[in-house]
Copies of this chain bind each other. A is one copy, B any other.
Amino acid sequence: MVNPYFSRDVLSMKDFDRGDLDLLFQYSDKIAGLEYKERASLGTGRTLGIMFFEPSTRTRLSFESAMAAIGGTSVGFSETRTTSLEKGESFADTVRVVEANCDAIVLRHPMEGAARFAAEISSKPVISGGTGTEEHPTQAMLDLYTIMKEKGRIDGLRIGIVGDLKYGRTVYSLIYGLSKFNVSIDLVSPPLLRIRKEATHDFGTSGRANSIEIREHDSIEEVLPELDVLYMTRIQRERFPDEQEYEKVKGSYFIDSRQVERMKRDAIIMHPLPRTDEIRHDVDSTFNARYFKQMQYGRTLRAALLSLILNP
């Protein structure tokens, strides 16, 4: 097997083709089947550098736990307050400091392009853990892996993505990832939060090997009964430049157990978490809920990804 991930940066879902993703999913399956000790031998003595300039419980925990699962260690920081940035150190120097002390870096940053910039500086592979409003590629990888595991396939599915499509970086990575498959995508958002055109502008072009349909909707009602996958997202207050805009759309796009009854019986509901009100708590106990299982797949997938990046 040629390992296309070895020593490679993970910055955008655009950089990974379908073969790359298939291999990652197969390797995730393999990792999941290993005994603890066997899995823990994959990253023994390796160090993951954590550079989180934005708070995050889930993504940080998932990476640290995945690194631990393969026997490695995470070092770094998850806030800027205790770092040397306070002593006037440049971002580039901080990247070099972390790079000197690890075998791979995972970086989360509020600014667009921060991960790509870090990757240019660092000789060690850089994984984006979410930057600005642009991408969160490993989230998309685990989203796709969840669909594959829970639906048995991605091709041929109808997938609804609901919520803040303008500022939600997970959405962009997910759409770039889905675009490698033959899928039908329904985008549901308030007009104010429509997806940015950069994400979908080339979907209609003729050169594609696969077929994607994409439609935009104002209301969740009209597509609900047709979906195989409902992907809900949080409307993030911190992404809004303006509090008033936030108040207008907050709470318009949610799902509860009554609405779940209108869905296909085997449809699944996903969410990148954390959720607030957009998935009501009575949905948790439905057959369709997969957002917590999705997080478990995330640990496995990230353990697989880290192992592939660190080992030739």
Residue positions of A touching B, CB distance < 8 A? 36-37, 39-41, 44-47, 49, 55-58, 61-62, 64-65, 68-69, 71-79, 81-84, 86-90, 92-94, 96-98, 100-102, 234, 236, 238, 273-276, 281, 292, 295-296, 298-299
Contacts and interface: CB of A to CB of B under 8 A. Distances in A.
A69 B57 CA distance: 25
B45 A93 contact: no
Nearest to A297: B100
Nearest to A39: B45
A61 B292 contact: no
A102 B57 CA distance: 13
Nearest to A52: B82
Given A45-B68, A47-B65, 8 more contacts: A36-B46, A44-B71, A47-B68, A57-B84, A61-B98, A61-B101, A87-B274, A96-B292
Contact of A86 (B55, B71, B275, B299): B55
Given A62-B101, A88-B276, A275-B89, A68 B73 contact: yes
B44 A100 contact: no
B276 A102 contact: no
Contacts of A77: 57
Nearest to A299: B101
A127 B47 CA distance: 22
Contact of A57 (B36, B68, B94, B238): B94
A299 B238 CA distance: 38
Contacts of A65: 47, 73, 75, 101-102
Contacts of A82: 55, 57, 78-79
A281 B93 CA distance: 10
A61 B45 contact: no
A238 B7 CA distance: 39
Contacts of A298: 100
A42 B37 CA distance: 10
Q: Which 4 A-B pairs have the closest CB atoms?
A: A40-B45, A68-B73, A36-B45, A89-B274
A45 B39 CA distance: 7
B57 A97 contact: yes
A82 B53 CA distance: 11
Nearest to A43: B36
Nearest to A311: B36
A237 to B, nearest CB: 8
15 contacts: A37-B41, A37-B44, A45-B71, A47-B65, A47-B68, A57-B83, A61-B76, A62-B101, A64-B73, A84-B273, A87-B274, A87-B276, A93-B275, A100-B292, A100-B295
